[in-house]
Amino acid sequence: MMPATQQKSARNRRKQLSPWWSSLTRDRLGIFALTLFVLGLILLLIPIGALQGVGGIVFGTGLTVLVSTWSNRQQLAKDANLRRKAEVYGPLHAELQTLRERLAETQAGSKPYLQWIDVPGMQSPRALQLLNEEPPTLHRWSEFKADSRSLDFSESIRQLLNQTLQLAKDYNTTIQIAREASSAILAPLIQVAITQTANSAEFHQWHKEHLDTTRGNEGVRYNPASPQDWFVRIGLAQSTPAPPPVEQVWATVWLETGAVGNDQPATLGWLVAGNIAQTVRSIYDVCATPVGSYPPPPLTWIQAILDEGWQSLEGHPIYLAVRTLHEDLFRQVFQAETKLVDKLRSIQDVYEGGPPPL
């Protein structure tokens, strides 16, 4: 009984033989060679010396043309498939593998949900131009389907890749809607927390001790001797004129822009993942940036805001839609990647001497 690797190799060779035979019978030269081969064989079987001599010549000519045609077609097939591997299947596989691995990390809970997938035809919001994490790309299939390289794929694979691309676009749209919904939920909770803190006895005492009254009409300022007290944030929030409302500004910073305006935090990704501890940590890190700014609010203060709104956030329909799209996209990318891997291994087995030794 042949080992599994030999059986697979034999199957691959049979797969290669079938289309070769089909193309041979459609080729005029192939039909002519086949006709000579069969005619020569018939003449060789006739027990007449002269006819057998002619048959030998005809048979030999037909066999030579057949072998030449076979070799030529094998070389053309090899060149074409090695080109497909290097220029089409390989680059597309690498891109899908990177995306699948990143989606899998979210599925495992080790990373937050992606907030953007870089696909052609979609412009990311302005605040997403600079990210903590470089978004995975899905460019190759759009490039291939725009030219003749799309013909290197069967109709079923083209449909599979089209569906994958559309799912990525739907995911981008939905995660942005989730950002807006999260901001709408968090902003009033932030406003309540700011008001409650500003009305506390601790804040009033701090305000009385550290308010800088030497600045005249320059606005509310606090004594530089107390820059490490996070109550500065509450005092400034209370004195900042609207619009936009301070709570909306804070929600935008926490979810979208980061403290420096161009560094998107992971807050939304952890919110959609349902990981409240990581969400709190992300907001705290945003408030702690840049180094040297006012101290961030205590983790317990941030935690209390999220606890108050967690039920509305966790069960929000748009969060459920993001998670569903994420799962669908993961399955679709995995399926497309698997088919590409199978084809790449087939090319390796038939045209590159089989599996690598290591």
> 198-229, pLDDT tens digit by residue?
999 998 888 887 776 555 444 455 554 554 57
Shared domain check, 117 and 104: no
354 conformational bin, left if phi > 0, alpha if psi -120 to 50, beta if neither = left
Question: DSSP class of residue 294?
Answer: S
Q: Is the pTM of this model over 0.85?
A: no
Tokens coding 355: 């599996």
Question: Among 300, 315, 330, which residue terminates a domain?
Answer: 315
Print the domain residue range for 59: 1-110
Shared domain check, 36 and 142: no
Half-sphere exposure of 167 (CA within 13 A, CB side): 22
Question: DSSP class of residue 89?
Answer: I
Angle at 84 between CA 79 and CA 86, to 5 degrees: 95
CA distance 303 to 228: 21
Domain contains 74:
yes
Angle, to 10 degrees, between the axis of helix 4-26 and the axis of helix 28-45? 100
Domain contains 77:
yes
How much is the pLDDT for 1?
47
Shared domain check, 225 and 104: no
How much is the pLDDT for 5?
52
pLDDT < 50 positions in the chain: 1-2, 127, 129-130, 216-219, 224, 227
Shared domain check, 252 and 159: yes
Q: 80 near 67, Cβ under 8 Å?
A: no
Report which of 271, 270, 287 is spatially closest to residue 182, judged by C-alpha positions. 271
Report how many domains make up the chain. Answer: 2
Question: Among 110, 142, 174, which residue terminates a domain?
Answer: 110
Shared domain check, 288 and 220: yes
How much is the pLDDT for 149?
93
Question: Among 91, 110, 129, which residue terminates a domain?
Answer: 110
Shared domain check, 206 and 139: yes
Domain contains 211:
yes
Shared domain check, 157 and 189: yes
Buried b (16+ CB within 10 A) or exposed e, 230-245: ebbbbbebbeeeeeee
Dihedral, 328, 334, 340, 342 alpha carbons, nearest 10? -130
Question: DSSP class of residue 220?
Answer: -
Question: DSSP class of residue 228?
Answer: T
216 conformational bin, left if phi > 0, alpha if psi -120 to 50, beta if neither = left
Domain contains 41:
yes
Shared domain check, 173 and 78: no
Using one digit for the tens of pLDDT, what is the confidence trace for 72-107? Answer: 777 777 888 889 999 999 999 999 999 999 999 999
Shared domain check, 311 and 166: yes
Domain contains 281:
yes
Tokens coding 58: 């005809």
Shared domain check, 175 and 282: yes
Shared domain check, 97 and 13: yes
Shared domain check, 223 and 74: no
Domain contains 330:
no
DSSP-H helix ranges across 214-290: 231-239, 246-252, 267-273, 276-287
Tokens coding 148: 């003749």
Question: DSSP class of residue 245?
Answer: P
What backbone phi and psi angles, to 5 degrees, belong to 310? -65, -40
Domain contains 209:
yes
Domain contains 89:
yes
